[in-house]
Structure 1
Amino acid sequence: MTTTGETLRDRLAEDELLVCPGVHDPLTAAVADSVGFDAIYMTGYGTSLSKVGYPDAGFITMPEMIENASTIQERIGVPLIADADNGYGNATNVVRTVREYIKAGVGAIHIEDQTFPKRCGHTKGRQVVPKAEAVGKIEAAADVRDERDDSFVVIARSDARGTGGGSLAEAIDRVNAYLDAGADVGFVEGPTDPAELQRVGREVDGPVLYNFVGDLGTSPYVAMEDLDAWGFDLVLFPILSTLSTIASVHADMQAFADDPGAAMRGVDDAFDAQSLGSLHDFSGFPEVVEWEEQYLPAEDREKYEGSLGDELGEE
């Protein structure tokens, strides 16, 4: 059976930019998967905010991130690229982190060189560990990959550009060192303008990723064809589902506060206008009915006779 890592590596080998929408839970991942993408990204910021209610400032733990990644990957049919923050400790902690993400079945993770507690890569106050320490963490990640699943993709990120006095040159130098240490893809966080992006694409010696955050951070809006021309292989839109969810729910809640019935009708109509089918269809109830028909005794089907509700896929 082909692993998610193998599928992702095959896609990255193609001469076309891989564009990945960001999701924060299995629900938003299922929506993205229904639209159709070659890979999907699990945001750390959105995971922290949706799962534990705190911002991306080191409050969420490795097991919580692993659980979210595992359930997302189970729900979708394409590889998941997951945020692994700073590996949740030093190089020895990275060993367990990578082992756990491989067990979760995801296609890739990215590990950054921030100190602990880490914070969103587009907020002030970030700091990075010494280069040698960060290289050791990437070496540990690469060794676990080679031992446990050599198709697993390790993405190495540097936040050096955004630290006090940090420079783009230092971030590029670090990412190249991480690639030399065994990383599969390089990730310079926080280029501030198209000229810096062009330099990253030119000077990073390996496959390279762009984190498209937009107005939330320092990354500029650029066209996909420009990123492709500048040498980028992969682009993440990490906060897409989180911003979309907050904005949509806030608007609906405001309407609900004014007129609950009318707001509910508006939400129903908006949902029905999509191509997802009913909520029951989208959530997978028809498949549950198929499982019942295949595996449960025939008498268990009697519960449907005379009962009220949607058909749930039965004949």
Structure 2
Amino acid sequence: MTTYGDTLRDRLARDELLVCPGVHDPLTAAVADHVGFDVIYMTGYGTSLSKIGYPDGGFITMPEMIENAGNIQERIDVPLIADADNGYGNATNVIRTVREYIKAGVGGIHIEDQTFPKRCGHTKGRQVIPREEAVGKIAAAADVRDERDEGFVIIARTDARGTGGGSLDEGIERVNAFLDAGADVAFVEGPTDEAELERVGRAVEGPLVYNFVGDLGTSPYVDLDDLESWGFDIVLFPIVSTLSTIANVHADLSVFADDPVESMRRVDEAFSGTPVGSLHEFSGFPEVLEWESAYLPESDREKYEGSIGDELDG
């Protein structure tokens, strides 16, 4: 059976830049899937903020992240790359973490070399574990992949560039060691300018991720053609849906506070202008009706007679 990991590997093999919008829940993932992308990314920052209301400071737990990833992957038809933070412990904890993400059915994950508690890769105060320990965690992840799902993609991330006294050299050396330990893709977090990105592209001996954070972070805005020419294979836009959600909900509720009825009218009109159809169609009610028709007794369909609401071919 082909897994989402197999599909992700196939798309990586196309030798073209994979643009991955970040989503934080199944709803934003469904929107991204409707728009149409080859791969979608689950943001750790957005997951933490939307699911538990805390920033990306090591507050969310492994089961919460895996539950969200599994629900997102179930809702979309393309591979999901999920944030797995620092694996939630040492190398033995990483074994369970990777097993659980594989059980969730996602296409791949990235694991970083931060200490616990970890924090967003674009905030001050990050620390990394010793290189030898980090390599051991990636080796453990790769062994689980080989045992449970060879298609599953392991992306190994280092935050060494952004730590106190950290250097790009250390980051490059770490990800090359991670690739030697069995990682499929390398991820140097936090290059500060285009020159550093070019250097990463030249010096890293394997497929590469760029984390396009924008003004919230330290990494620069760059042209996607340039990224591809420098040797990058995947570009993540981790918080695009989270920032969009906050900005648009804030704007709508600001109007709502002054005039709830007019605000509701505007939101209805804006939604009607999208190509997703009605909310009921977008959320999947037509499929529910198909299930009812296929599996429930004919008498159960009598509930539709004379009832009030959207027909949805009921």
Range into which the TM-score falls when normalised by the shorter chain: over 0.9
- The separation in 2 between residues aligned to 1:274 and 1:96, in whole angstroms, is 41
When the two structures are superposed, what TM-score results if normalisation uses the length of structure 1? 0.99
Indicate the residue corresponding to 1:238 in structure 2. 238
5 Å matches for 1:51-200? 51-200=51-200
Structure 1 residue 89, shift from structure 2 partner: 0.2
- The separation in 2 between residues aligned to 1:313 and 1:196, in whole angstroms, is 56
Letter in 2 for 1:152: F
Indicate the residue corresponding to 2:283 in structure 1. 283
Is the contact between residue 208 and residue 231 of structure 1 (CA under 8 Å) also seen in structure 2? yes
- The separation in 2 between residues aligned to 1:313 and 1:202, in whole angstroms, is 57
Structure 1 residue 283, shift from structure 2 partner: 0.1
Indicate the residue corresponding to 2:294 in structure 1. 294
Structure 1 residue 15, shift from structure 2 partner: 1.6
Structure 1 residue 99, shift from structure 2 partner: 0.2
Letter in 2 for 1:10: D
Is the contact between residue 108 and residue 154 of structure 1 (CA under 8 Å) also seen in structure 2? yes
**Per-residue CA distance 1:9-51 (angstroms, 9 max, x = gap):** 0000012100000000000000000011001000000000000
Indicate the residue corresponding to 2:255 in structure 1. 255
Runs of 4 or more consecutive aligned structure 1 residues displaced over 6 Å after TM superposition: none
Structure 1 residue 2, shift from structure 2 partner: 1.2
Letter in 2 for 1:265: R
Indicate the residue corresponding to 1:204 in structure 2. 204
Gap regions ≥5 residues in structure 2 = none
Matched, 1:45 2:48: no
- The separation in 2 between residues aligned to 1:132 and 1:181, in whole angstroms, is 11
- The separation in 1 between residues aligned to 2:15 and 2:237, in whole angstroms, is 20
Give SS of 1:135's match. Answer: helix
Structure 1 residue 313, shift from structure 2 partner: 3.2
Indicate the residue corresponding to 1:4 in structure 2. 4
Letter in 1 for 2:57: A
- The separation in 2 between residues aligned to 1:264 and 1:101, in whole angstroms, is 39
Give SS of 1:82's match. Answer: strand
How many residues in Structure 1 have an aligned counterpart in Structure 2?
Answer: 314
- The separation in 1 between residues aligned to 2:136 and 2:312, in whole angstroms, is 52
Is the contact between residue 285 and residue 313 of structure 1 (CA under 8 Å) also seen in structure 2? no
Give SS of 2:248's match. Answer: helix
Indicate the residue corresponding to 2:305 in structure 1. 305
- The separation in 2 between residues aligned to 1:222 and 1:8, in whole angstroms, is 24
**Per-residue CA distance 1:212-242 (angstroms, 9 max, x = gap):** 0000000110111111111000000000110
- The separation in 1 between residues aligned to 2:269 and 2:169, in whole angstroms, is 52
When the two structures are superposed, what TM-score results if normalisation uses the length of structure 2? 0.99
Letter in 2 for 1:224: L
Gap regions ≥5 residues in structure 1 = none
- The separation in 2 between residues aligned to 1:303 and 1:223, in whole angstroms, is 56
Give SS of 1:256's match. Answer: helix
Change in CA separation of 1:302 and 1:95 when aligned onto 2, cut-off 3 Å: same
Letter in 2 for 1:106: V
Letter in 2 for 1:65: M
- The separation in 2 between residues aligned to 1:312 and 1:56, in whole angstroms, is 40
Q: Identical aligned pairs, as a percentage?
A: 81
Is the contact between residue 185 and residue 207 of structure 1 (CA under 8 Å) also seen in structure 2? yes
Structure 1 residue 282, shift from structure 2 partner: 0.1
- The separation in 2 between residues aligned to 1:286 and 1:152, in whole angstroms, is 32
**Per-residue CA distance 1:262-302 (angstroms, 9 max, x = gap):** 00000000000000000000000000011101110011000
- The separation in 2 between residues aligned to 1:127 and 1:152, in whole angstroms, is 28
Give SS of 1:294's match. Answer: helix
Structure 1 residue 312, shift from structure 2 partner: 1.9
Give SS of 1:248's match. Answer: helix
Letter in 1 for 2:4: T
